[in-house]
Amino acid sequence: MFSLFEMFLLMFTVSCGFGDSVKGFFTKLGTTWTVILSIVLVLVVLALGFFIYKYYSEEK
């Protein structure tokens, strides 16, 4: 079983790998959807980081 940090790293590398195709996808969507989706993505990443931080601080 992966730890949360390893899963986060895996997700990060996968998203970097798909970066180019995601850029093309966003170009087709248009500016408004790109802004909305990027805001949602930032919120999700912040929430993930917060939960990972809480998880590791409680473990110690």
pTM score of the predicted model = 0.44
Domain presence at residue 9: no
Q: Can you tell me which residue has the tokens 């802004």?
A: 35
Domain presence at residue 8: no
Q: What is the pLDDT of residue 48?
A: 92
Domain presence at residue 5: no
How far is 58 from 47, CA to CA, in rounded Å?
16
How far is 55 from 30, CA to CA, in rounded Å?
37
Q: What is the pLDDT of residue 58?
A: 83
Q: Which domain holds residue 56?
A: 24-60
Q: What is the pLDDT of residue 9?
A: 73
DSSP string, 37-59: HHHHHHHHHHHHHHHHHHHHHHH
pLDDT per residue, tens digit, the chain (60 aa), is: 557 777 777 777 776 666 666 667 666 767 777 778 788 889 999 999 999 888 888 876
Q: What is the pLDDT of residue 12?
A: 72
Q: What is the pLDDT of residue 6?
A: 76
Number of folded domains in the chain? 1
